[in-house]
Amino acid sequence: MSNHLNRRDFMKMSGAAVVGGAAAVTGCATAGGGATATGSIGVKAALPGAKGPRLVIVGGGTSGLTIAKYAKKEYPKFDVVLVEKRDMYSSCFSSNLWYAGLVNLEFLADHSFLDAARNNHYIYFNATVTGLDRTSRTLATSEGDISYDFLVIAPGISYDYGRIGVKDPEAIDALRTIYPGGFISPTEHVTIRRKVQEMEGGVFVQTVPSGNYRCLPAPYERACMIASHIKKHRIKGKVLVLDANPEITIKKDGFHAAFDELYKGIVEYKPGSAITGVDLGNKMLKTEFDSYHFDDAAIYPGVRASTLIEHLGLADPKSPQKEALISQLKYNVIGDERVYVTGDSRPHPYSKSANTANSEGKYVAKVLAARAQGRDINWYSPRTVCYSMVNAEPAEAISVDAGYILDKTGQAIGGFSPDTKLFEKRDAAKGKGTLEWARGMYREMFEA
Amino acid sequence: MDRRKFVKLCAGGAAMLAAGLRAAQAKDFTDFPRVRLTDAAGAPLKAAALTGEQAYVFHYPFRSLPCFLIDLGKAAAGPQNMKAEWGEYAWPGGAGPGKNLVAYVAVCSHQLSYPDKDGSEIRYAAGKSALAGKSGMIVCCAHDSVFDPAAGANRLHGEAEYPLAAVRIEHDAADDGLYATGLAGVELAERFFRVHKRRLIVEYGPGVYREPVGEVAPAIPFDKYTASASNC
């Protein structure tokens, strides 16, 4: 059971990146600017002396962990330092499965940064980045300055509440706290898990943003997981999916089948329903033509590159999601082959998903290893292998396996590769596959 | 487990140590004790009794390391030069009178998925699989990799970069029996133990999982070995 994604499907992800290719020629205000490392606390970080070219990686998510491991494998002379602000890992991927009890928190979080560093011969440095001076090649952190030969910044995403018409900081804070999106930090997942377990009835709203948001199928998958919980426990409630897009953005046949066949009367799907405002007092979400009452919600606002990218002066001013201005083929900041941006802050129209970040990370590790030795490598596509659980009783899933090709310029991503396949007929085998996919990712990032 | 202990475990004795080190330089297969393959009941497995419809799972050369025995139903030419993460080696081609019998470690070279009693993402698909788009391939649905068992389990598609580790098998024309005699990819076994240690200790017991398999190795039809197979 497979069919192919077409160009229209691809364009759903590429809206944010249309200008990315052109940006390479228009140049960038910040490139080569010699900014000062504001944010330095004025001391050097307490690190062992570099034993080779120092590769500093910011961000211990899928991208950063993959690059830390594989850059060292590709070029053992690299002295790799992973700067991560969290002191405890918990994955964003697979967190939806927790809401239906298919996995527990241990599944998501029983993975140590220390073990990853030890097994793969790099340093895990628990600090927050506060500044960057590209002239002196210095990264400022909350624990002191670090000199680098090569720097990879993989800080993930930040939420953009402006995209749902919310600009007041108090309202943003309330939304963030009471109705978290659940696509960035583990504490959001814990809150959503509690919401699901405490559900006694009423309308739970799951919103789906426009643009190239993190993990296209995840809001629909989450709707299925919560609906599965509602069904199992015979709760008099429903999940209302308010989708900013005109149609389910990926694996639509598989999700529609699940909504219709498994969750009739439990999941209500409303396409073309971009949120334009929120009335927290009355628990109302506004769209262009309607308003919807909710009893509880996971409000996924717009997505943008991590604010860190902007703070460090690396954002493309033309990018609607404030993504980094980098070479789409080599990931370096335009005009600076020492600094790279990867993962979900990249401007590529790739799926912002763990498998893509992992696959891409291995490629970027090869780019870095080659460049550290004065060479270069040819571009090749990452893969997006992405499972979505659509049923929890029993566990059944659908999936997609996508690659990408370059456009006519050869400098930017142009579409899905011809070998892209969709597997939209849900079954238990893919349900098991979903779990093993995640275990494999953990092994990949934390084991040797 | 350090390398020295590991190599010692592989067979013991200076000759085996030398073989292990030679494998570390990635020139060849590592010899392990010759083990007869049996059926589930312990009777010697006959090549003529094999069906090409599915793989058989046996463990070799360690108690927990799963391998696929496959009757390709056609000759697999050898030798072929293979390139793995740990080096290069010559895969000998199929064994048996029809050169149609091959064996590989059933652990995906990508992120080490393997068959257990509950399920398996990696499988030999005798018929056409949706992922490979053709018949007779080993597919791993955890992250969608495809390997060609008629060509040393070379990687054809997906995130895996390298072939599956190969098991050398020998056919005894006198009684149509089958033996496993060596492994190309000791490093993979080492990694398998390290990465899956917690699971293997639960399943086999501390230390037991890395013990030599013993005199014989039962080869169980895949659908009897695992409760649920992938279908990508």
Tens of pLDDT, residue by residue over B43-64, are 999 999 999 999 999 999 999 9
- CA distance linking residue B82 with residue A186, whole number of Å: 43
Residue B1: predicted pLDDT: 41
**Exposure on the CB side of residue B216, measured as CA atoms within 13 A:** 14
Q: Is the pLDDT of residue B3 over 60?
A: no
For A115, nearest residue in chain B (alpha carbons): B195
Q: Give me the pLDDT at residue A3, please.
A: 52
- CB spacing of B232 vs A399 below 8 angstroms: yes
Q: Supply the Cα-derived Rg of chain A in whole angstroms.
A: 21
A427–chain B Cβ distance below 8 A for any pair: yes
- When pLDDT is averaged across residues B82-93 and rounded to a whole number, the result is 93
B183 Cα distance to chain centroid: 8
Taking CB atoms and an 8 Å limit, are B130 and A423 in contact across chains?
A: yes
Are B114 and B124 in contact by the 8 Å Cβ rule? The answer is no
Mean pLDDT of B221-227: 97
Contact A429 B110 (CB under 8 A): no
What ipTM, to 2 d.p.?
Answer: 0.85
Burial B6-44 (b: 16+ CB within 10 A, else e): bbebbbeeeebeebbeebeebebbbbbbebbbbeeeeeb
Which of B141, B158, B194 has its CB closest to that of A433?
Answer: B141
Mutate to test the interface with A, among B108, B114, B121, B193 (most CBs of A within 10 A): B121
In Å, how far is A443's CA from the nearest CA of chain B? 7
Residues in chain A with CB shorter than 8 Å from the CB of B110 are 440
Q: How far is A66 from chain B (nearest CA, A)?
A: 12
Which of B130, B142, B157 comes nearest A436 by C-beta? B142
* E strand spans, chain B: 30-38, 56-59, 66-71, 80-84, 87-91, 101-105, 122-125, 137-140, 145-148, 154-157, 166-172, 177-184, 216-218, 220-221
Identify the three-state secondary structure at position A307: helix
B141–chain A nearest CA distance, Å: 7
Q: Are A59 and A153 in contact (CB under 8 A)?
A: yes
Q: Which residue of A has its CA nearest to B107?
A: A440
Distance of alpha carbon A283 from its chain centroid, rounded? 28
**Cα–Cα separations (whole angstroms), residue B219 to B3, B44, B63, B154:** 29, 10, 13, 23
What is residue A158's DSSP assignment?
A: E
Q: Which pLDDT belongs to residue A288?
A: 93
Enumerate the residues of chain A whose CB falls inside 8 A of the CB of residue B143.
355, 383, 385, 437, 440
- Alpha-carbon torsion (B186, B188, B191, B196), positive or negative: negative
B195 touching chain A per CB within 8 A: yes
- Closest to A427 (Cβ–Cβ): which among B110, B142, B231? B231
Helix (H, G, I), strand (E, B) or coil at A436: helix
Task: Please tell me if residue B1 touches chain A, with a CB cutoff of 8 Å.
Answer: no
Query: Which two three-digit tokens encode residue A342?
Result: 């990867």
Residue B18: partners with Cβ closer than 8 Å, 6 or more residues away: none
Look at residues B86, B55, B56 and name the one whose alpha carbon lies nearest to residue B186: B86
> Where does A215-266 have alpha helices with state H?
218-232, 252-262
Segment B148-187, tens digit of pLDDT: 999 999 999 999 999 999 999 999 999 999 999 999 999 9
Q: Name the residue in chain A with its Cα closest to that of B119.
A: A432
- The 3-class secondary structure across A71-119, one letter per residue, is HHHHCCCCEEEEEECCCCCCCCCCHHHHHCCCCCHHHHHCCCHHHHHHH
A-contacting residues in B 114-153 (Cβ below 8 Å): 118-119, 121, 130-131, 141-144
- pTM for this prediction: 0.90
How high is the pLDDT of residue A14? 59
Calpha distance A430→A388 (Å, rounded): 9
A444 touches chain B (CB under 8 A): yes
Report yes or no: B227 at the A interface, CB cutoff 8 Å.
no
The Cα A184–Cα A73 span in angstroms is 29
Pairing of strands A79-84, A54-58: parallel
Q: How far is A72 from chain B (nearest CA, A)?
A: 14
Give the helix/strand (H/E) hosting A341: strand A336-341
B158 to chain A, any CB pair closer than 8 A? The answer is yes
CA distance A325 to B147: 38
Which of B111, B90, B190 has the alpha carbon at shortest distance from B158?
A: B111
Note the pLDDT of residue A8: 60
CA distance, residue A425 to nearest chain B CA (Å): 11
From A119, A48, A128, select the one nearest A81 (Cα to Cα). Answer: A48
pLDDT value of position B26: 38
Q: How long, in residues, is chain A?
A: 448
Cβ-Cβ contacts under 8 Å between A and B: the total is: 69
Helix or strand (DSSP H, E) at A198 = helix A186-198
Residue at token pair 């696509």: A183
Integer CA distances (angstroms), A307 to A155, A188, A311, B50, in order:
9, 18, 6, 61
Taking alpha carbons only, the member of B191, B105, B111, B119 closest to residue B143 is B111
Which chain B positions have a beta carbon within 8 Å of A418's beta carbon? none
Residue A9's pLDDT is 66
Amino acid at A95: S
C-alpha span between A443 and B199 (Å, rounded): 12
Contact check, Cβ <8 Å, B228/A428:
yes
Q: Smallest Cβ distance to B142: which of A419, A427, A433?
A: A433
Q: How many CB atoms lie within 10 A of CB B165?
A: 28
Parts of chain A with a pLDDT under 70 = 1-37
Least confident of A53-57, B8-12, B79-83: B8-12
Contacts of B121 in chain A (CB under 8 A): 432-433, 436
pLDDT at residue A12, rounded to an integer: 60
Give which of A190, A218, A16 is closest to A104, Cα–Cα. Answer: A190
Work out the burial of residue A412: count CB atoms within 10 Å of its CB; fewer than 13 is exposed, 13-18 middle, 19 or more buried.
buried
Grade residue B27 by pLDDT with cuts at 50, 70 and 90.
low
Pairing mode, strands A79-84 and A123-126: parallel
Cβ atoms of B50 and B58 within 8 Å: the answer is no
A437:B143 CB<8 A: yes
Q: Which has more confidence, B15 or B162? A: B162
Which positions in chain B touch A361 (Cβ < 8 Å)? none
Q: Which of A115, A119, A385, A441 to probe the B interface (max B CBs under 10 A)?
A: A385
* CB contact A401 to B (< 8 Å): yes
Q: What is the pLDDT of residue B28?
A: 82
Higher pLDDT, B86 or B57: B57
